[in-house]
């Protein structure tokens, strides 16, 4: 069975209120605009997740809301805040196998580290770019063969890497 995994870094957050804990920082206007554009792009491309694993931070929740993944089953997971690539992959491995498209909304460096690990030796332009930088609200999409609990690099292929500045 073929699946699609979307790794999404949260949109640009605001640093305007220094009294807020990092987990509580909201999106900046630029981040809100980017998330809305990215959501429109993903919907246009037919990328509608069945399941979303979302960090419980304010900025990831706001990013998810603006992406407008309306019919997805959403799990807000505290453990995704600051998660390593290994921990992120472990969370994906817990997803039910009938979920065809799974999105993970989280933070760097874990999101970029996981994207790099999954891209492996891929030499395509998208893989090269995601190794250099995984900007806010960027999306790396991977085709996955087999079950979510049996993710292995040889069964995963990067199909796209999109950053907000590339979108209209």
SS3 48: coil
Task: For 76-113, write each residue's pLDDT tens digit.
Answer: 999 999 999 999 999 999 999 999 999 999 999 999 99
Res 151: pLDDT: 84
Task: Tell me what pLDDT residue 98 has.
Answer: 95
Give this prediction's pTM.
0.96
Q: What is the pLDDT of residue 30?
A: 96
Query: Does 3 score more than 70 pLDDT?
Result: yes
125-132 and 110-119 helices, crossing angle to 10°: 150
- Average pLDDT (39-45) is 96
**pLDDT value at position 1?**
65
What's the pLDDT score for residue 20?
Answer: 87
∠ at Cα 107 (103, 108), nearest 5°? 120
């Amino acid at each position: 069975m073929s699946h699609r995994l979307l790794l999404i870094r949260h949109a640009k957050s605001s640093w305007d209120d220094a009294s807020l804990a990092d987990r509580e920082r909201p999106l900046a206007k630029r981040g809100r605009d980017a998330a809305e554009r990215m959501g429109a792009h993903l919907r246009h491309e037919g990328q509608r997740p069945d399941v979303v694993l979302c960090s419980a931070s304010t900025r990831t929740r706001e990013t998810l809301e603006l992406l407008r993944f309306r019919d997805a089953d959403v799990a807000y997971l505290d453990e995704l805040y600051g998660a390593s690539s290994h921990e992120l992959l472990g969370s994906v491995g817990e997803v039910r196998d009938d979920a065809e498209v799974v999105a993970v909304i989280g933070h760097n460096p874990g999101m970029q580290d996981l994207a790099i690990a999954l891209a492996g030796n891929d030499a395509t332009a998208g893989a090269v770019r995601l190794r250099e930088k995984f900007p806010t609200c960027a999306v790396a999409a991977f085709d996955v063969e087999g079950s979510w609990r049996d993710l292995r690099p040889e069964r995963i292929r990067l199909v796209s890497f999109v950053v907000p500045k590339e979108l209209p």
